Structure 1
Amino acid sequence: MIKIVEVESNKDLKSFIDFPHELYKSDPNYVPALYMSEKHLLTKHPFHHHSEMSLFLAYKNGKIAGRIAAILNVNYNTFHKDSVGFFGFFESTNDFNVAEKLFEVAEKWLKAKKAVKIIGPVNPSTNESCGYLVEGKNEPPVVMMPYNQPYYHDLFLKMGFHKNTDLLAYLIDVGSFQDKSVKMLDLLSQRLSKRGIIVRKVNLKYFKKEIAECMTVYNEAWDKNLGFVPMTDEEFEQMANDAKMILDPDFCLVAEYEGKAIGFTLCIPDINQIQIKMKKGRLFPFGIFKLLLGRKKIKKLRVLALGVKEEYRRVGIEAVLYGTLLKNAREKGIVEAEASWILEENQMMNRALENLNGHMYKRYRIVEKAIL
């Protein structure tokens, strides 16, 4: 017997967050989400100030067998003049009936909100982790990227979902990298300087000002990306403050023209290499020490964001940003970097990463279907 319960109590919320630990308990590649971060994302994140989300648990024979979030992104629908709903945080045992019941209740909730289509997974938007892995190496995910059971693809197909788009991840071998953007970094930087453009490290002393500048770049440079919605001030500040806890200024660069930000890149160390060892994602009592003491052992970066305002593209800024990142990474003993995620139809960025000797090694998918 399958029973669906809406999450309403703290006990339910804890069960919702902790369910993946049981589902993946024998999977060596599973990285538990930090409990505190996941709880904040599900209850107090600035996303909730403009949109709605309802969480559901599936019980089979009295035991939790799945979970899902039904999400109404009001800002998305307003920006795109659309009436769609989303699903996220989906996890399930390999049981079609469980998955079907979860989606039935999620779609019913969204239909009551006038949604005509359901898209996902997004957790809870494309500004956080999204998609599910359909192709790639059998290894742990990097920080803030999803991980899932391989049978999810078949479950989605059986429920009538079809592809919306694919998101690509590229792996760059920093150690053997010989790209001209590194070799010619000084020359390229000089050319930009003659145009009044400089590339510098983020200034943590004036972090709030830096956030405001980068936010304008983000909202202009990413406006054609899948599911894009301009971030609110609160959302961008939340993202920046989360990143600041593990930020290295050598990997957060700003491109400026006459003192105004026109591009930026943000890379963060792959703390999943430490987090994978933290039981149930708890920082206390010992997880915090693993996190603090393990930082210097991290040898992989994630290129989380790199963007330049459209009118300043194709003048060499992207090459200098990438070149500086790679130069700094080499000097700090970083071995490899993952650039993720990139829309499959973003030919310019995919070509640029291939020119950097990056190779596409993981593919994530977002699916959709009509709500009947």
Structure 2
Amino acid sequence: MVSIKLVSTKKELKQFIDFPHDLYASNPNYVPELYMSQYEILDKKSAPFFLHSEADYFLAERDGKIVGRIAAIKNNNYIEYTSNEIGHFGFFDVINDSEVANALLDKAKSWIAERGLSQMAGPYNLSTNESCGTLIEGYDLPPTIMMTFNEPYLNDLLIAYGFETDMTLLSYIVYTKDMPEKLSRMSGLLKDRLESKGITIRKANLKDFKNEVDKLYRVYNKAWEKNWGFVPMTEEEFKHSAKDMKLIVDPDFLLIAEAKGEPIAFSLSLPDLNVAQKHIKRGRLLPFGIFKLLYYKRKIDRVRVITLGVVEEYRKLGIDAYFYAKAFEESKNKNLLYGEASWILESNEMMNKALININANVYKKHRLYKKAI
């Protein structure tokens, strides 16, 4: 018999965070999330998400053993911004068993319905500003930093429950050895063209990180405001994320475009810390994980273009193409194996075209689902 319990203690939250380590222990491509980063996201007392929204976490047990987990989420900012009465689910990991999966989804569904919402969608961990989606293609390589991982059966369980596709998210790969020679020429020509229009592009100044973050925040919500699924980040959320990323950001991979002295676009690529995290048992930095992280960090051979946005009035000028070209050109200069651009909405023709033009190929797909309740 399957029982579902609400996570209400620190011990249960620890079990919630740790469950994927046991579930995917035999999969060579699984990468454990750092425990401290997951705790920061889920801790209702300190995570900025909970200043405006709510969520509860649930564990499934059978015969005294944890066999699944799920989060039920009411994102008030999303509801206010989109006027969609939709609740979300996330952190959905479960053994390959429809009874267990259905019990968890039923619990999330009833939680969402109790709050007067008419649909459920996900998985979101906790919104589109964090990791989201289930992997549906590309199981032969491990996930990059801040991308989700699951076995193929998870999608079968969601479809069997009655979920339909809401959106497909694409991940592109560019191997540095396959980068066209014209890439460097193209980035130079694009930069010249942009400068002729009064647009300058520079690297971020990490010595003035606080002011740089303020500028990027002004761009972020403007640049993504009309994107499917977008939820504006609060200033607290943006600065909280920036604080974590400062530890690993490389200024060569954080580019800012400005016009008339004001920021109009930026691109952020991160070294794929998952290369190192893969070796950290159960995501624990202490007592020895920190030394493994520092050792394997030197072996990082790939980068992920994680954020790229241009405010609407400056689109179609080639800023996005320049950002992509420069990120992958820099990857080649640093002798990295490949770069990933993710995730890209399947419906975003402009971004998809920019990537195809530099010989990028789709190598992973993730999916978001929805269902009426």
TM-score by length of 2: 0.97
Aligned with residue 268 of structure 1, among 267, 270, 275:
270
Determine whether 1:155 maps to 2:147.
Answer: no
Partner of 1:330: 332
Match of 1:184 among 177, 183, 186: 186
Question: Deviations 1:37-89 (Å, cap 9, x if unpaired)?
Answer: 10110113211111001000010111111100000000000111121100000
Equivalenced residue count is: 371
**Which residue is equivalent to 1:8?**
8
- Report the CA distance between 1:181 and its aligned residue: 4.4
What are the residue-to-residue correspondences of 1:67-82 with 2, within 5 Å?
67-82=69-84
How big is the shift at 1:122?
0.5
Contact 1:181 1:322 in 2 (8 A): no
1:194 to 161, 179, 196: 196
* Contact 2:305–2:327 (8 Å) recurs in 1: no
- What's the counterpart of residue 360 of structure 2? 358
Structure 2 unaligned residues grouped into runs of 5+: none
1:301 counterpart residue number: 303
Which residue of 2 is the match for residue 97 of structure 1? Answer: 99
How far does residue 179 in structure 1 lie from its aligned partner after superposition?
Answer: 5.7
- Tell me if the contact between 2:178 and 2:359 (Cα under 8 Å) persists in the aligned partners: no
Q: Deviations over 1:96-151 (max 9, x none)?
A: 11111111111111111111100000001011110001112422101100000211
| Partner SS for 1:297 | coil
Matched position secondary structure for 1:133: strand
Q: Which residue does the alignment assign to 2:143? A: 141
SS in structure 1 at match of 2:177: coil
From 311, 314, 322, the counterpart of 1:312:
314
1: CA distance, partners of 2:212 / 2:148: 28
Report if aligned partners of 2:183, 2:325 keep a CA contact under 8 Å in 1.
Answer: yes
* Structure 1 CA distance for aligned equivalents of residues 371 and 328 of structure 2: 41
**Structure 1 equivalent of residue 280 of structure 2:** 278
Contact 2:305–2:339 (CA<8 Å) still a contact in 1?
yes
CA, structure 1 residues 370+179, in 2 after alignment: closer, same or farther (shift >3 Å)?
farther
Do residues 110 (structure 1) and 112 (structure 2) align?
Answer: yes
* Contact 2:325/2:358 (<8 A) preserved: no
> How far is 1:296 from its partner?
2.5
The whole-number CA distance in structure 1 between the counterparts of 2:14 and 2:21 is 12
Residue 257 of structure 1 corresponds to which residue in structure 2? 259
2:84 and 2:178 mapped to 1: Cα distance?
A: 46
Amino acid at match of 1:171: I
Is 1:241 paired with 2:243? yes
State whether residues 199 and 321 of structure 1, in contact with CA within 8 Å, keep that contact through their aligned partners in structure 2: no
Structure 1 residue 125 corresponds to structure 2 residue 139:
no
Contact 1:79 1:229 in 2 (8 A): yes
* Other structure's SS at 2:249 match: coil
Task: Give, in whole Å, the separation in 2 of the partners of 1:185 and 1:166.
Answer: 29
User: How far is the alpha carbon of 1:184 from its aligned partner?
Assistant: 3.3
2:38 aligned partner: 38
CA distance in 2, matches of 1:306, 1:180: 22
Preserved contact between residue 168 and residue 365 of structure 2 (Cα < 8 Å): yes
CA contact (8 A) 1:6 1:55 kept: yes
| Residue identity in the other structure for 1:92 | V
Once structures 1 and 2 are overlaid, which stretch shifts more, 82-91 or 312-321? 312-321
Question: Which letter maps to 1:251?
Answer: F
Q: Is the 8 A contact 1:169 1:338 kept in 2?
A: yes
RMSD (Å) for aligned C-alpha atoms: 1.2
- Indicate how the Cα distance of structure 1 residues 225 and 237 shifts in structure 2: closer, same or farther if over 3 A, else same: same
Q: Residue by residue, what CA displacement relative to the aligned partner does 1:153-209 show, whole Å, maximum 9, x if unpaired?
A: 111111111111100000011233116442133333222222221111011111121
Offset of residue 241 of structure 1: 1.4
Q: CA–CA distance in 2 between the matches of 1:295 and 1:4?
A: 39
* 2:219 alignment counterpart: 217
State how far apart, in whole Å, the 2-side matches of 1:180 and 1:313 are: 23
- 2:29 corresponds to: 29
Q: Distance in 1 between matches of 2:243 and 2:228?
A: 24
Q: Deviations over 1:7-65 (max 9, x none)?
A: 00111111111111111111111101100110110113211111001000010111111
What stretches of structure 1 of length at least 5 have no aligned partner? none
- Identify if the C-alpha distance between structure 1 residues 160 and 179 changes in structure 2 by more than 3 Å, giving closer, same or farther: farther
Identity %: 50
1:245-283 deviation per Cα after TM superposition (whole angstroms, max 9, x unaligned): 110000010001121111100000011111011100001
* Conserved 8 A contact 2:220-2:309: yes
- Amino acid paired to 2:2: I
SS at match of 2:124: coil
SS class of match (1:58): strand
Structure 2 CA distance for partners of 1:179 and 1:226, relative to 1, 3 Å: farther
Alpha-carbon separation, structure 1, partners of 2:312 and 2:182: 23
Which stretches of structure 1, 4 residues or longer, exceed 4 Å deviation after superposition?
A: none
Q: Which amino acid in 1 is paired with 2:281?
A: K
Instruction: With the length of structure 1 as denominator, give the TM-score of the two structures.
Output: 0.97
SS of match in other structure, 1:214:
helix
- One-letter code of the match for 1:18? D
